[in-house]
Amino acid sequence: MSEDESFDLVGCLARVRERDQAAAKALVDHLYPLVIRIIRAHLPRRVAEEDLAQDIFLKMFTRLEQYQGAVPFPHWVSRIAVTTCIDQLRAQKRRPEFRWADLSENEADVLDAVLTNENDVEAGDALAARELVHKLLDQLKPDDRMVVQLLDLEQKPIAEISGITGWSQSLVKVRAFRARRKLQKLFKELERKERP
């Protein structure tokens, strides 16, 4: 969401409901940073972020009459964005196999450091670490991936994840447990294969 605190969200929504196109445009501009952050965090492979953002906003306008104000509007939009990303991830049925050979030099160094514990991951390798994390997350089921992303990478509390996804808190915990177990299994396989 933009940092513009003076934005009159309630008034803008009222005008959008009266089919004011300028208000709709202002609403999209206001919410774009929020939506694009969610998309970038959960972007499925081979999907253009702008196309996904457009889908999310069109869903938002289509369902606007269903919004009753029970939760803040940005939370409601976040939920649409998250579920749209999950749907996109589900649509990509095949997950590529995770192989050392597919990693860049930096990513392989980071993975090596994590697996062997000989060196700490250097601050300069943060970007490679992030890419590596996303490649590992690609190995998980979409729902599990979403939970780990929100919980471990974005450090959101379980209650908030439950609110964003619409899943119960126990389901969020189960999915997190399942995902971390799968990641541990993956690390063990990578250790066994060793860096070429």
Partner 1 sequence: MNSPDQKWPRLVSAARRAEDVRDETAPYGFSTRVAALAFARERTGVSLLERFAWRALCVAGLLAVLSTAANYSLFSSAVGEDDTLTDDNTVSALLDFSS
Can you give the binding site for partner 1, defined by CB under 8 A?
2, 19, 21, 24-26, 28-29, 32-33, 36-37, 40, 50, 53-54, 57-58, 61-62, 110-111, 114-117, 121, 123, 125-127, 129-130, 132-133, 136, 152-153, 155, 180, 183-184, 187-188, 191
Cα–Cα–Cα angle for 97, 89, 153, rounded to 5 degrees: 80
Nearer to partner 1 by Cβ, of 4 and 93: the residue is 4
Structure tokens at 184: 């541990």
Q: Which of 191, 96, 89, 101 is nearest to 135 (CA)?
A: 96
Nearer to partner 1 by Cβ, of 2 and 104: the residue is 2
**Local structure of residue 3 (DSSP, 8 states):** S
Nearer to partner 1 by Cβ, of 65 and 97: the residue is 65
Nearer to partner 1 by Cβ, of 116 and 168: the residue is 116
Nearer to partner 1 by Cβ, of 166 and 177: the residue is 177
Rounded to a whole number of angstroms, the minimum distance from the CB of residue 97 to partner 1 is 19
Rounded to a whole number of angstroms, the minimum distance from the CB of residue 130 to partner 1 is 4
**CB-based contacts of 144, cutoff 8 Å, min separation 6:** 175, 176, 178, 179, 182
Rounded to a whole number of angstroms, the minimum distance from the CB of residue 61 to partner 1 is 4
Nearer to partner 1 by Cβ, of 79 and 180: the residue is 180
Rounded to a whole number of angstroms, the minimum distance from the CB of residue 1 to partner 1 is 10
- Other Cβ atoms closer than 10 A to 47: 16
Separation between Cα atoms, residue 190 and residue 126, nearest integer Å: 20
Rounded to a whole number of angstroms, the minimum distance from the CB of residue 165 to partner 1 is 19
Cα–Cα–Cα angle for 44, 46, 50, rounded to 5 degrees: 80
Rounded to a whole number of angstroms, the minimum distance from the CB of residue 41 to partner 1 is 9
Check if the beta carbon of residue 35 is closer than 8 Å to that of residue 53: yes
Provide Rg for the chain, Cα atoms. 19
